[in-house]
A and B are shown apart, each in its own frame.
Chain A
Amino acid sequence: MLYREAGQFKTSYAKDWAIFPIAQDRIVVLGFLAIAFIAIPVLSSEYFLATILMPFLVMSMAAIGLNLLTGYAGQLSLGTGGFMATGAFAAYKLSTMFPGMPIEAVFLLSGVVAAFVGILFGIPSLRIKGFYLAVATLAAQFFLLWLFNKVGWFTNYSTSGVISAPPRTILFTDIYVTGPEASVTAKYLFALTLVAILALAAKNLVRSSIGRRWMAIRDMDIAAEIIGIKPLQTKLSAFAISSFYCGVAGAMWAFLYTGSVEPLAFDINRSFQVLFMIIIGGLGSILGSFLGAGFIIALPILLTNAPHLLGLNIPVDVISHVEYMIFGALIIFFLIVEPHGLARLWQILKEKLRLWPFPH
């Protein structure tokens, strides 16, 4: 009853092409956006904003990026950390080389830089497939981190190799979104806007012709090639666009989340973390990217703090070790009960709501 599309007529092409053609979906999305933009900044504490929501937004962005590549185009990649680092260092170089450049442009251009790097490292995908490709993308991961660590130019010859975000304001205002003066709320809203816009763009992209080509390649690349889809353009475009998202995520990590960053922050564990998110969240689902990111970000924090909350006095090392165990066990548990990810649960829920309250 609640989720019923009967009676909603599409009387124009524009309506049929809408990103969310069903009214209930639109309401839910708008509702979430309203909560995220208005309620959360007003109600939540600084701790919640700075340590849970910020990494959640950043990692959602990276997860969308990897999901486009792995979930939609079927190319398994473990180079996400490298592409995020590219975005972070590109953003730093752009904003210090051209101090007048608006911060919005810096973020988008750093994504473009990452996209080009992504194309470069995507070339082997034309010949290498599956796990061989996954391990081959580790070459990108290790090489890029080494490069940013080694070449002084990327860090403006800082002795330590750490970059930190210069203070910048939003275009046409004097509200700081990066640097020490920026308030957490401003950073959060800025990140949220970026994520919201780019997530909608991704949602739109995957149902366009390019998105359908990706899926054809994913499902069977030889068959796709036979029906006239060019693997070269398709695979490289997937790498480019995926890396764009990862690059923007990296820039957000460096500029909005931690404020300063060394290449080690984007090491291989980061790549695994993003891969976790899309698999737990759901391969081939934009919503799944958010759910997965939320789950993987919130779970360790929750596990670390749970004993404290329950009034137990457990040494921190035991907590850390048990946290590892529970984290691993929960991942296996989720894979067993729902290998299609959290997004699948949402779909099932929608099916139920369509019939509710008369399930038969």
Chain B
Amino acid sequence: MTFNMKISAAAIALAVGVSGTLLAEQAKAQDAGQYVPGTVYRSGPYAPGGIPWANGYADYFKLLNERDGGIGGVPIIYEECDTAYSNDKGVECYEKMKNQGPTGASVFQPLSTGITYALIDRVKADEIPMITSGLGRADASDGTVFPWVFTLPVTYWAGADAIVQYIDQQEEGSLDGKTIALVYHDSAYGKEPINTLEYLAEKHGFKLELFPVAHPGLEQKATWLKIGRQIRPDWTIMWGWGVMNSTAIKEAAAVGYPMDRFIGNWWAGSEVDVKAAGGVSKGYLSAQFHGAGEDFKVLDDVKKHLVEKDLNAGPDEEVGDILYNRGLISAVFTAEGIAKAQEKYGQKPLTGEQIRWGIENINLDEARLEELGLTGLLDPVKLSCADHEGGGSVIIQQWDGENWKPVSDWISPARDEYLRDMYEKSAADYAAEKGIEPRDCSKES
């Protein structure tokens, strides 16, 4: 008894003691360079999707260091923290990393809509920009209310609009009387496209049917019986993530729903999903904001500088996968923001506030994309003080059993027509609730 007690007491003492010293250590500054935090998830229920993204994100910074010696001669210090897709762990990672490096964290990319919400107030207080590429809250595109949050290149609302545009093209411009079903992850993430689709349903006269799927989405038989055997919608859109995607594809096949009328958003359209579902997923469509495959110049560089020297973070065959490419694209946004900020503030480690200026002035036009080796992988994006989305485009791709093949041109979401108004209205509501004074963009350089 006493022996046991001593062990337990010693374990507690050790735990308390180490956590104390740990915190002191954390504050220690690292070598000179630009500190980039990676809040990724390589464990937990969503790890299969999180890992390739994290590898792509990490590899791009490693590529910059290997090939160019960093950005403008300033090496990138990249460090990861595992959030396991949980909000409180995400907050812990954020608090731990925000003051690291000589100038603090440059940019956070939380890769989780839930963590994005938890960080919105914090990044504002700490003056660190946060990029939510293809995730997070859509109305953060309004830079006057959300100065520290960026949604480039597309938001969920813009994605939903682009998908409906594609369906409209396929139906030759008449959606009147058609039925479109939305199968969504029943969380903050999955609910984002609903109001856009409701607006479009009214405008085009199609009927929208909603099918929430409870987290984590292991069991969808009821949903798919209803879709496949009763309602039989003309098109089905999916806003899913993790095991929900492959389950949905399998259940859709089980009720005989045609795959070429089933469109996932960009988180429901990676190799992980279709491969786990097996052969039945052939013909499945998904909307992306970047290209798939490895025929891009930047990926040639990755192979030359990382894969051949065995420096890449993940398995070699992963390079060119959808989620790997997305991680890499997301890293490009961070790096481009830093590069732009260096033009104004000089080639040295920069603070979050300076990098925010850089991101706001990102202009990835055709020439710049060519220079970075991104032609074909990404459509041009240009940000401003008020517009934090930057006018990115969406492309629809189809799984042919082996690869993702584009089946549409780049589709530009109808931002001018109504999306921008929706962002601004929603952001204004948020500002009113939170008591935020929108900043005046005409006064900023």
The answer to whether A and B assemble together is: yes
Which A residues lie at the B interface, using CB under 8 A? 44-48, 50-52, 55, 96, 146, 149-150, 156, 159-162, 164, 166-167, 179-181, 257-265, 267, 295, 298-299, 301-302, 304-306, 309, 315-317, 319-321, 324, 330, 334, 337-338, 342, 345, 348-349
Whole-angstrom distance between the Cβ of A341 and the nearest chain B Cβ: 10
A349: chain B residues within 8 A (beta carbon): 9
Question: 1/0 per position for B427-445, CB-CB distance to A under 8 A?
Answer: 0000001110000000000
Q: Does B215 contact A (CB under 8 A)?
A: yes
Within the assembled complex, what's the spacing in Å between the Cα atoms of A155 and B57? 34
Within the assembled complex, what's the spacing in Å between the Cα atoms of A330 and B40? 26
Q: List 7 A-B contacts (CB under 8 A).
A: A51-B91, A264-B114, A298-B15, A315-B80, A316-B40, A337-B7, A345-B8
Are A180's CB and B434's CB within 8 A?
A: yes
Question: 1/0 per position for B78-121, CB-CB distance to A under 8 A?
Answer: 00111010011001100110010000000000000110011011
- Using known A-B contacts A167-B434, A317-B42, determine if residue A309 contacts B25 with beta carbons closer than 8 Å: yes
Are B188's CB and A262's CB within 8 A?
A: yes
Whole-angstrom distance between the Cβ of B304 and the nearest chain A Cβ: 24
Whole-angstrom distance between the Cβ of A316 and the nearest chain B Cβ: 4
Are A338's CB and B5's CB within 8 A?
A: yes
Within the assembled complex, what's the spacing in Å between the Cα atoms of A194 and B21? 29
B99: chain A residues within 8 A (beta carbon): 47
Q: Does B223 contact A (CB under 8 A)?
A: no
Within the assembled complex, what's the spacing in Å between the Cα atoms of A53 and B137? 29
- Using known A-B contacts A50-B95, A305-B26, determine if residue A262 contacts B187 with beta carbons closer than 8 Å: yes
A334: chain B residues within 8 A (beta carbon): 8
Q: Does B222 contact A (CB under 8 A)?
A: no
Within the assembled complex, what's the spacing in Å between the Cα atoms of A142 and B162? 35
Q: Which of B88, B192, B195 contacts A55 (CB 8 A)?
A: B88
Are B84's CB and A258's CB within 8 A?
A: no
Q: Does B420 contact A (CB under 8 A)?
A: no
- Using known A-B contacts A295-B15, A309-B22, A337-B7, determine if residue A164 contacts B82 with beta carbons closer than 8 Å: no
- Using known A-B contacts A46-B95, A305-B22, A337-B4, determine if residue A265 contacts B88 with beta carbons closer than 8 Å: yes
Q: Which of A146, A160, A348 contacts B214 (CB 8 A)?
A: A146
Whole-angstrom distance between the Cβ of B81 and the nearest chain A Cβ: 7
Q: Which of A46, A150, A301, A317 contacts B51 (CB 8 A)?
A: A317
Q: Which of B5, B9, B82, B212 contacts A319 (CB 8 A)?
A: B82
Q: Does B169 contact A (CB under 8 A)?
A: no
Whole-angstrom distance between the Cβ of B136 and the nearest chain A Cβ: 9
Q: Does B194 contact A (CB under 8 A)?
A: yes
Are B118's CB and A258's CB within 8 A?
A: yes
Are A306's CB and B22's CB within 8 A?
A: yes
- Using known A-B contacts A258-B91, A265-B87, determine if residue A302 contacts B22 with beta carbons closer than 8 Å: yes
Within the assembled complex, what's the spacing in Å between the Cα atoms of A68 and B117? 33
Are B114's CB and A304's CB within 8 A?
A: no
Within the assembled complex, what's the spacing in Å between the Cα atoms of A161 and B189? 9
Apart from the given pairs A302-B15, A348-B5, 10 other A-B contacts in the complex at a CB distance below 8 Å: A149-B186, A167-B435, A260-B118, A261-B87, A262-B187, A265-B87, A304-B82, A306-B18, A306-B22, A309-B22
Are B26's CB and A179's CB within 8 A?
A: no
Q: Which of B4, B25, B44, B188 contacts A161 (CB 8 A)?
A: B188
Q: Which residue of A lies closest to B215 (CB)?
A: A264
A338: chain B residues within 8 A (beta carbon): 4-5, 8
Are A264's CB and B187's CB within 8 A?
A: yes
* B41-98 residues at the A interface, CB under 8 angstroms: 42-44, 47, 51, 80-82, 84, 87-88, 91-92, 95-96
Q: Which of A156, A179, A298 contacts B121 (CB 8 A)?
A: A179
Q: Which residue of A lies closest to B3 (CB)?
A: A337
Are B92's CB and A258's CB within 8 A?
A: no
Q: Which residue of B lies closest to A346 (CB)?
A: B9
Are B434's CB and A164's CB within 8 A?
A: yes
Within the assembled complex, what's the spacing in Å between the Cα atoms of A335 and B191? 42
Q: Which of A164, A304, A324 contacts B117 (CB 8 A)?
A: A164
Within the assembled complex, what's the spacing in Å between the Cα atoms of A259 and B114? 12
Whole-angstrom distance between the Cβ of B184 and the nearest chain A Cβ: 11
Chain A to chain B: the 5 pairs with minimum beta-carbon distance, closest first: A317-B42, A320-B43, A337-B4, A160-B188, A180-B121
Q: Which residue of B lies closest to A298 (CB)?
A: B19
Within the assembled complex, what's the spacing in Å between the Cα atoms of A166 and B9? 42
- Using known A-B contacts A47-B96, A317-B51, determine if residue A159 contacts B426 with beta carbons closer than 8 Å: yes
Are B23's CB and A47's CB within 8 A?
A: yes
Q: Does B229 contact A (CB under 8 A)?
A: no
B84: chain A residues within 8 A (beta carbon): 320
A159: chain B residues within 8 A (beta carbon): 191-192, 194-195, 426
Are B80's CB and A316's CB within 8 A?
A: yes
Within the assembled complex, what's the spacing in Å between the Cα atoms of A259 and B118? 6
Whole-angstrom distance between the Cβ of B230 and the nearest chain A Cβ: 21
Are B15's CB and A160's CB within 8 A?
A: no
Within the assembled complex, what's the spacing in Å between the Cα atoms of A179 and B87? 17
Q: Which residue of A lies closest to B422 (CB)?
A: A159
B186: chain A residues within 8 A (beta carbon): 149-150
Are A47's CB and B192's CB within 8 A?
A: no
B5: chain A residues within 8 A (beta carbon): 337-338, 345, 348
Q: Which residue of A lies closest to B84 (CB)?
A: A320
Q: Does B344 contact A (CB under 8 A)?
A: no
Within the assembled complex, what's the spacing in Å between the Cα atoms of A261 and B5? 39
Are B88's CB and A317's CB within 8 A?
A: no
- Using known A-B contacts A180-B434, A338-B5, determine if residue A309 contacts B15 with beta carbons closer than 8 Å: no
Are A316's CB and B124's CB within 8 A?
A: no
